[in-house]
Structure 1
């Protein structure tokens, strides 16, 4: 017999397993206070998933509010939708809008790597679809333990296969991202997925249930027992040291069903018969019903008996908590229901009317003719607990910052520099990632203009005019460990710069904030500092935060991950034909280093590669005025067709930017380093810098533009066309030897 609302009134003292569902004592007491009685077991299930850390942001809300103080204007105009919606929507001109967002699927990907990563992609794609947009591309930011650790070799191949398998089956190009390695991610990998979609302004849809009498329709896959409390509860607690133990909680994806769901939903939008829509992500039906109802102008009635099930033995609580994939919920006027069902049948998509919008402000759910849920949906979806967690600066940070990489010994002999160059090129965070990216389709749909290994991905939006977008997804966790405020800003600056060097104008960001346990005051300090860093940085750059995701409890036992605020930047380019590629193309071209190089080695790849993983000191300084000036210069150069290539400087510094520019087309160079210390010149990771090449005929114009924009520019050499990397007076390395060093690490570890 179901635990009904009437039964709950009659049995106030029944013991309920709220702690096993992740509900704290004070939260359970508050639920009872809100309801004026004990919750039914179905209501307890709903509150437990919707008030989980993953769904309610209860530990991060007080800090995330700071993003609301940012302007909602992009350099191209006001946001069409921002924080609080399924995804942000940006006007890019000519009647087009772009929606993009990043989300995490970290814990499920550790427990079951393939399905965890695959359903992470599926979930973010549905967020984009729910805004009325056609998904057109994906990206991912992945972080694992050391490359040769046994558990990395268990997790990494499955995650990559899941990301590629799901995205490839959907026909979505994977146009960029990153793969990084650090011991802190052993036992807690990060899988952050981004999706971007395009729509016309008039096609924008929002998630709300409006219009009394309108029908509530569940469409897509049937509901199963997979993913019960999967992302919502699994991602709201810390793993212990025994490893993955929650395999049944991970959702199982079906990309072919999702492809049908995408096409079906887009046709439903085109038919203009949807009044409100919500995708099913974490918390399943609990989320879709409570969020639609709370954002609407009435209540909602749902008959749980009508929900199509893959497992007829599911209890009502399990149906409400299931996170089975490929499901959507729509609100439809009665006159349009027949047409809705007709379109779903055309695409072989299961669709069932499960309820309706009702007067009042209650969400009422019945099972076998009895009421098992009677709640104010706002208390479920938007009025959960808000914690002001204590936080303080870690005492150990003083010792870390007092041990800078700048004080480490440097071997500036020819052999010392050769060894350092080889160590940096073969470091997991720099080495070639083709083993990963060859499993992704980068060019499906035919509109990929740039993809890995370029600095950012680029997609054409309008074939007639060439209007396009660029996207980058970056995090520098080493910098964020040394100083989370500056580290978050440096991640923002790198992503911004990656977009700018292609010639696109950066206009907006999304973020995915990955940290350890919020119950650790030192972790919460890292989180708070990173948020303020991003707020201040976005204000300086003049770009808004359109939305994002917070992932906490990323730690194994008492060991948190390095703080990892991942930042996605969206850029707009008026004509993709003007984009700038990253590789050297023409022998005889002049090579210029843009920006200023400081003695900034702390947090660098050089430090990690040559000093046995040392991590200390302060990260590079951030100059957002210099970043803006560089971005403006790159846009002007793209429009004028001045440059042959451009590559941002980040991990590995000038040495890696030069090597990667040479590897791209197999063309060597000869450069003379400035009179500074060679280790600094080669490996410092100062921000606001780029490496460019250009024909001699454009040098005078280029130097004038640099002077006008206030961007320091030093001519350091030329593209030779010879098969070698020559650092004049220091060392010369065969291009093939250097490339082999760079290519080897991932295949050697993964086969």
Structure 2
């Protein structure tokens, strides 16, 4: 040991700014125990970002283990949790990889770049698995639509997502946008990406083979995003957060596009042994994780890292989260071919080190040894907290405040229009029109359909022989989770699962982005623990494994936390993408059917929220066996060609679902409600329900299928005309539905 490491050994009492880097005193003491000395400033930088909440999952690990412990057996699961993204077998030799992650705090501080780099980061996670990214989605939450904060943040977020995704040529096929005052000052920007690859071409983040070269390629390293993981994502959000703009990354989608094509050629040439994207914690993360999953040793010369700013200190190089960078492990005999491919794509590439067998991560800078650590202690052996948790003090009172005390409307026509024009239900065309949903021509369904659907056969070279398609949906309801986080997480999964199934796709796997307040608050931690338990139990019942995801804590301003908001993504597979089911009423003369039972369930409903500003009682019951049976019927019926259209029933109940079905193609319908109380029939948010439309000649076959699966099936009426007619209740022209549905966002946002 020389210089920095030696000096750290000889000056044990020198004060270090560990607290400013987000470390607790006991965490700093543990680093000293691991190293047998105080860390150098560069080592402190590595441990501070790698042990941050965002990177280490130190408060959530003890709960997330349930996803593995309770995981259903799935032959389709090829890569599960612990890698950059999960991978599932979709048949015919092909695999899909998908993941969702948060970029919440950066998107509040600098909306455009925060959201844009959130897209860029999740795309690189998919690239790192050896896949071609083929589509993106996003789940967004903002404060009240008319709040000044929302008018500042929302346009920038949408612009950032649009800018980055459109430049990459990736269709944005779906997601959600919701509004609630609890997200004021702390929006949620959760980005999902899906990629495709041959199932025998999976790449992993590992650095085996002493003597293999470590290559940093892509954009140069700059001062943007320094400490972003620990500064922005791993601490409570305060009012002075605008001062943290330097911690927000700056994206260059044109470099990322080159990087995508370069990586695909590198994979095809088989010149990559291991690969890792540089996202949160930058070089610190890539080197420690690659080394820890390989032979355990790596030597890096930080002087070789290409810089945009030559004045950067080594600590800044290690903590920079500059975008569009990847790190690969390459054998010496393949290094020339690797470099030639990078040069052909005009992607800068530099050998910055090599794999060793020492079990140590050693880094030099300006002739000094500035890092000498066991990499696994930073990557895998960070602190694990069993945080105390207990039910919130007001939870019982919240659950006792049932919606039964709320006056129920007599003018149900006006109520439908009020809900249809509420910000959460209203058309999101203002947002989605800024995204290219159909670039590359392989999008089969996109917003406002319940799930996005892509064909596989024309996306990937050599895949023309497969007729398969993939479907994706994301869902979450913070109000439900506030009332009951266990049931709320299950309802989020159930809705995403159902939205995939209504397209005719078989739900296959789950990813999640768990957005919560501070884990240091026992009441927030109770919400988190219950949500994870609920999601793990639901995955086991539905038979879908969790392949990976993200935990986002500290989503609060001061002491005010957001509603617990688990966002769940579900991926499904269509054996024949031509059999996908279209959205809504697709033509006249079709029978309209309701699948599932309707109960008086209004806790956390859009009606209670919109009409009364009320949140109380219990959310709808999560009947997972009913969800599974419903999905089986939908998938089987789609494969048989029995369905002409479909739509799930969720926010706003059957009334909103019928209106959205009519708006899909401008086709009206005349229906009779299946329950005696028209208010409950129209606006209850009971789960495990869907609307389908079938040709009259196949009605009996479909009804027999539903009956054999134990799924209630109610004939509501028939499609046709230019109005939505609910017999003995009201009539609303489709044109009035459309005007009401489309007006809210443009009226506020311009």
TM category (shorter chain) comes to over 0.9
Q: Cα deviations across residues 41-68 of structure 1 (Å, max 9, x unaligned)?
A: 0000111100000000011011011111
Q: Where does residue 417 of structure 2 map in the other structure?
A: 422
In the TM superposition, 1:136-535 aligns within 5 A as: 136-412=134-410, 416-462=411-457, 463-535=464-536
Structure 1: runs of 5 or more not aligned: none
User: CA, structure 1 residues 553+346, in 2 after alignment: closer, same or farther (shift >3 Å)?
Assistant: same
Aligned CA distance change for structure 1 residues 675 and 473 (closer, same or farther; 3 Å): closer
Cα distance in 2 for partners of 1:79, 1:656 equals: 36
Distance 2:685 2:499 in 1: 14
Offset, 1:676: 2.4
Give how far 1:609 is off.
1.3
Q: For 1:229 and 1:180, how far apart are their aligned partners in 2? A: 30
After TM superposition, give the deviation of residue 97 of structure 1 in Å: 0.6
* Inter-partner Cα distance in structure 1 for 2:495 and 2:180: 19
Structure 1 distance, partners of 2:392, 2:422, is 29
Instruction: Check conservation: 1:515, 1:561, Cα contact below 8 A.
Output: yes
What SS does the corresponding residue of 1:85 show, helix, strand or coil? Answer: coil
Per the alignment, residue 34 of structure 2 pairs with 34
C-alpha distance in structure 2 between counterparts of 1:513 and 1:10, whole Å: 44
On the 8 A contact 1:458/1:471 being kept in 2, the answer is: yes
Report if aligned partners of 1:109, 1:191 keep a CA contact under 8 Å in 2: yes
Aligned residues: 743
Match of 1:86 in 2: 84
Q: Whole-Å Cα distance in 2 between the matches of residues 244 and 310 of structure 1?
A: 24
Structure 1 residue 733, shift from structure 2 partner:
1.3
Shift in Å, 1:706: 1.1
Label 1:295 to 1:72 Cα distance change in 2 as closer, same or farther (>3 A). farther
- For the Cα contact (< 8 Å) 2:296–2:375, is it kept in 1? no
> Residue 15 of structure 1 aligns with which residue?
15
Give the Å deviation of 1:201: 1.4
Q: CA deviation at 1:739?
A: 1.2
Show CA shifts across 1:569-612 (max 9, x none): 0100001100111121221211111100010011110111111x
Distance 1:558 1:427, change over 3 A: same
* Deviation for aligned residue 1:709: 1.1
Q: Deviations over 1:227-264 (max 9, x none)?
A: 00113431001112345321111000000000000100
Q: Which residue of 2 aligns with 1:545?
A: 546
Measured in 1, the distance between the counterparts of 2:362 and 2:686 equals 57
Q: Is the 8 A contact 2:3 2:368 kept in 1?
A: no
Three-state SS of the structure 1 residue aligned to 2:309 is coil
Once residues 327 and 104 of structure 1 are traced to their aligned partners in structure 2, the CA distance between those partners, rounded to angstroms, is: 19
- Measured at CA, do residues 97 and 628 of structure 1 come closer, stay the same or move farther in structure 2, by a change above 3 Å? same
Query: Structure 1 length as normaliser, TM-score?
Result: 0.98
TM-score, normalised via structure 2 length: 0.98
CA contact 2:587–2:665 (8 Å) conserved in 1:
no
In the TM superposition, 1:720-731 aligns within 5 A as 720=720, 722-731=721-730
Aligned to 2:625: 625
Counterpart-to-counterpart distance in 1, 2:362 and 2:474: 41
**Structure 1 residue corresponding to 2:116, chosen from 115, 118, 134:** 118
Equivalent position SS for 1:73: coil
Q: Distance in 2 between matches of 1:272 and 1:589?
A: 53
Q: Deviations over 1:723-747 (max 9, x none)?
A: 2111111111121112111110000
Q: Any conservation in 1 of the 2:135–2:195 contact (CA below 8 Å)? A: yes
* Aligned twin of 2:567: 566
Change (3 A) 1:654 1:92: same
Aligned residue number for residue 698 of structure 2: 698
- Whether the 8 Å CA contact 2:101–2:192 is kept in 1: the answer is yes
Distance in 1, matches of 2:676 and 2:467, equals: 43
> Cα deviation per residue 1:6-39 (whole Å; 9 max; x = unaligned)?
1111111111111111011111111111111110
Following the alignment from structure 2 to structure 1, what is the Cα–Cα distance between the partners of residues 377 and 328? Answer: 21
Q: CA offsets, 1:179-230, max 9 Å, x none?
A: 0000010000000000000000121010010101101000000000000011
Partners of 1:303 and 1:72 in 2: CA distance: 45
For the 8 Å contact 1:596–1:686, the answer to whether it is kept is yes
Deviations along 1:253-290, one digit per CA (max 9) or x if unpaired, are 00000000010011011111111111001000000000
Aligned to 1:747: 746
Aligned to 2:460: none
SS at match of 1:27: helix
Equivalent pair of 2:82/2:548 in contact (CA under 8 Å):
yes
Contact 1:541 1:628 in 2 (8 A): yes
Which whole-Å CA distance do the structure 2 matches of 1:36 and 1:515 have between them?
36
Q: Distance in 2 between matches of 1:503 and 1:232?
A: 42
- Once the two structures are TM-superposed, the CA of residue 364 in structure 1 deviates from its matched residue by 0.1
Q: Paired residue for 2:461?
A: none
Partner of 1:679: helix, strand, or coil?
helix
Which residues of 2 match residues 607-686 of structure 1 at below 5 A?
607-611=608-612, 613-686=613-686
| Contact 1:3–1:42 (Cα < 8 Å) also in 2 | no
Tell me, yes or no, if the aligned pair for 2:706 and 2:712 is still in contact at 8 Å: yes
Tell me the CA shift for residue 426 of structure 1: 1.1
Look up the SS of the partner of 2:470 in the other structure. Answer: strand
**Structure-2 separation of matches of 1:324 and 1:427:** 39
CA distance in structure 1 between the aligned counterparts of 2:231 and 2:58, rounded to whole angstroms: 13
Range 238-247 or range 46-55, more displaced:
238-247
> Which segment drifts farther, 227-236 or 288-297?
227-236
| Match in the other structure for 2:73 | 73
Equivalent residues of 2:663, 2:738 under 8 A apart: yes
Alpha-carbon contact 1:107-1:231 (below 8 Å) kept = no
* Partner Cα separation in structure 2 for residue 703 and residue 343 of structure 1: 58
Contact 1:72 1:79 in 2 (8 A): no
Offset at residue 72 of structure 1 (A): 5.8
Deviates more, 1:418-427 or 1:119-128: 418-427
Distance verdict in 2 for CA 1:17–1:232, change over 3 Å: closer
Deviation at 1:407, TM superposition (A): 2.9
| Partner-residue secondary structure (3-state), 1:198 | strand
TM-aligned CA deviation for residue 419 of structure 1: 2.1
Q: Is the 8 A contact 1:216 1:330 kept in 2?
A: yes
SS at match of 2:715: strand
SS of the residue corresponding to residue 306 of structure 2 reads coil
- For 2:152, what is the secondary structure of its paired residue? helix
Alpha-carbon deviation of 1:70? Answer: 2.9
Residue 455 of structure 1 aligns to a residue in which SS? coil
Q: CA deviation at 1:622?
A: 1.2
CA RMSD of aligned residues (A): 1.0
Shift of 1:482: 0.3
Maintained 8 Å contact 1:299/1:360: yes
1:346-396 C-alpha deviation (Å, 9 max, x unpaired): 000000000001121100000011100000000111100111110000120
Instruction: Give the SS at the match of 1:715.
Output: strand
CA contact (8 A) 2:72 2:539 kept: no
Where 1:365 maps in the other structure, the secondary structure is strand
